[in-house]
C-alpha cells in the first residue's frame, strides 16, 4: 500500500493485524511515536495526525491509512518544533518526557483548528492523553503559550547567570527540548537502534570483499547478543521470573563465543 508519511511517499507492506504504531516504529524507524499502552489506545503517547486529525496509532490498523497523510513530530517544521519545545520547557510541562510527543501532536491538531483555544477547549482536547508527572496544569499553560495570540505564560525560560543565581527562577531542563520534540531516546528506542544498526552492518559484511568483513560482523554479533540480554531482562520482569534473565545471559554468551570463533577461525568450526 502507499501512504504519505511526513511529506514523503512511502510504499509499505503491513503485516496482518499490524497497527499504525508498529508500522511507524518497526518498519519506518519513527522514534518520536511512543508505545505506552498498545493496543489499548488509552494513554495518547502514540498520537499522530492522519489527514490532519489526531489519532492514537496503536489502536489504528495500518491498512486504514492507505493513501492518507500521516504526520508525526518529525514532520513538523523546525520552527513548529522549536515553538513547542520552548513553550513546554518554559512552563515546566515535560518531566520524564515519555508522553510529551503525543501531547504535542494532540495540541498541534487543536491549534490548527482553533488558533487561540480557551482553557476549557485545551482540557477537552487533551482528555485522552495521560501524564503521570506534571499534574496537567503546566501542560495547559504550555499549550496556551504556543497558541498564536497567547503570550508565553511565564516568559522566556530563565537561564543561570555566571554567578549561578538561580534561586527563585525556573532554569530550563537540560534535556527538556529533546523530550518535548521526541528526539530523546527511551529503552525501547535504544534497542530498536541497536537492531537496525546490526542489520545494516550485517548487510555490509555480506557485500564486503573476502577478508574485510570480520570487524563489522563481530560488532553485529555483540549488538545482537546485547539485545538478547535486554529481551531476557524484559521477560524476567514481565513474568516475574528472575531466572529468565540468567538463562538469557548464559545463552547470549554461549552464542557469542561460538560466533566469534566461527568468524575468526572458520576452519575450526
Q: Please write the tens of the pLDDT for every residue from 91-122.
A: 999 999 999 999 999 999 999 999 999 999 99
Separation of alpha carbons 230 and 248, rounded Å: 9
Least reliable range by pLDDT among 56-65, 132-141, 172-181, 233-242: 233-242
- Residue 55 cell numbers, joined: 489519532
The more confident residue out of 192 and 132 is 132
- Residue pointed to by grid coordinates 501531547: 103
Q: Exposure pattern of 202-226 as b/e (b: 16+ CB <10 Å)?
A: beebeeeeeeebeebbbebbbbbbe
pLDDT for position 211: 47
The band of 268, judged by pLDDT with boundaries at 50, 70 and 90, is very low
The more confident residue out of 117 and 263 is 117
CB-based contact 183:101 (threshold 8 Å): no
Mean pLDDT of 44-53: 97
Mean pLDDT of 41-57: 96
Distances in Å between the Cα of 26 and the Cα atoms of 10, 56, 223 are: 14, 16, 18
Mean pLDDT of 198-215: 52
Residue 19 has pLDDT above 90, yes or no: yes
Mean pLDDT of 251-268: 59
The band of 162, judged by pLDDT with boundaries at 50, 70 and 90, is very low
Residue 245 has pLDDT above 90, yes or no: no
Separation of alpha carbons 39 and 30, rounded Å: 18
Least reliable range by pLDDT among 83-87, 252-256, 260-264: 260-264
Least reliable range by pLDDT among 45-49, 55-59, 162-166, 251-255: 162-166
pLDDT for position 105: 97
CA triple 60-239-255, angle to 5 deg: 95
Q: Exposure pattern of 104-131 as b/e (b: 16+ CB <10 Å)?
A: bbbbbbbbeeeeebeeeebeebbeebbb
pLDDT for position 174: 83
pLDDT for position 185: 87
Mean pLDDT of 235-248: 62
The more confident residue out of 1 and 243 is 1
pLDDT for position 202: 52
pLDDT for position 85: 93
For residue 257, the tally of other CB atoms under 10 A from its CB is 11
Mean pLDDT of 142-167: 58
pLDDT for position 151: 47
CB-based contact 89:173 (threshold 8 Å): yes
Least reliable range by pLDDT among 17-31, 186-200, 254-268: 254-268
Read off φ and ψ for residue 165, nearest 5 degrees: -90, 85
The pTM assigned to this predicted structure is 0.69
- For a pLDDT cut of 70, what percent of the chain falls above it? 62
Distances in Å between the Cα of 176 and the Cα atoms of 76, 93, 101, 184 are: 18, 9, 12, 9
CB-based contact 139:93 (threshold 8 Å): yes
Amino acid at each position: 500500500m502507499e501512504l504519505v508519511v511526513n511529506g514523503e511517499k512511502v510504499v509499505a507492506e503491513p503485516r496482518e493485524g499490524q497497527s499504525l504504531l508498529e508500522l511507524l516504529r518497526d518498519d519506518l524507524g519513527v522514534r518520536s511515536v511512543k508505545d505506552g499502552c498498545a493496543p489499548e489506545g488509552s494513554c495518547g503517547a502514540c498520537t499522530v495526525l492522519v489527514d490532519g486529525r489526531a489519532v492514537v496509532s496503536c489502536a489504528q490498523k495500518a491498512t486504514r491509512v492507505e493513501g492518507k497523510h500521516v504526520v508525526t513530530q518529525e514532520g513538523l517544521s523546525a520552527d513548529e518544533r522549536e515553538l513547542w519545545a520552548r513553550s513546554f520547557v518554559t512552563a515546566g510541562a515535560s518531566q520524564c518526557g515519555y508522553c510529551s510527543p503525543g501531547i504535542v501532536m494532540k495540541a498541534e491538531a487543536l491549534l490548527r483548528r482553533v488558533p487561540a483555544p480557551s482553557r476549557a477547549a485545551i482540557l477537552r482536547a487533551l482528555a485522552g492523553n495521560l501524564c503521570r508527572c506534571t499534574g496537567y496544569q503546566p501542560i495547559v499553560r504550555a499549550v496556551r503559550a504556543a497558541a498564536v495570540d497567547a503570550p508565553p505564560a511565564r516568559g522566556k525560560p530563565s537561564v543561570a547567570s555566571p554567578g549561578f543565581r538561580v534561586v527563585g527562577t525556573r532554569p530550563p531542563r537540560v534535556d527538556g527540548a529533546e523530550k518535548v520534540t521526541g528526539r530523546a531516546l527511551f529503552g525501547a528506542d535504544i534497542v530498536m537502534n541497536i537492531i537496525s544498526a546490526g542489520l545494516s552492518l550485517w548487510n555490509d559484511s555480506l557485500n564486503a570483499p573476502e577478508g574485510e568483513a570480520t570487524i563489522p560482523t563481530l560488532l553485529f554479533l555483540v549488538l545482537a547478543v546485547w539485545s538478547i540480554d535486554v529481551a531476557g531482562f524484559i521477560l524476567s520482569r514481565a513474568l516475574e521470573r528472575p531466572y529468565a534473565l540468567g538463562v538469557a545471559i548464559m545463552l547470549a554468551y554461549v552464542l557469542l563465543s561460538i560466533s566469534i570463533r566461527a568468524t575468526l577461525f572458520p576452519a575450526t568450526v
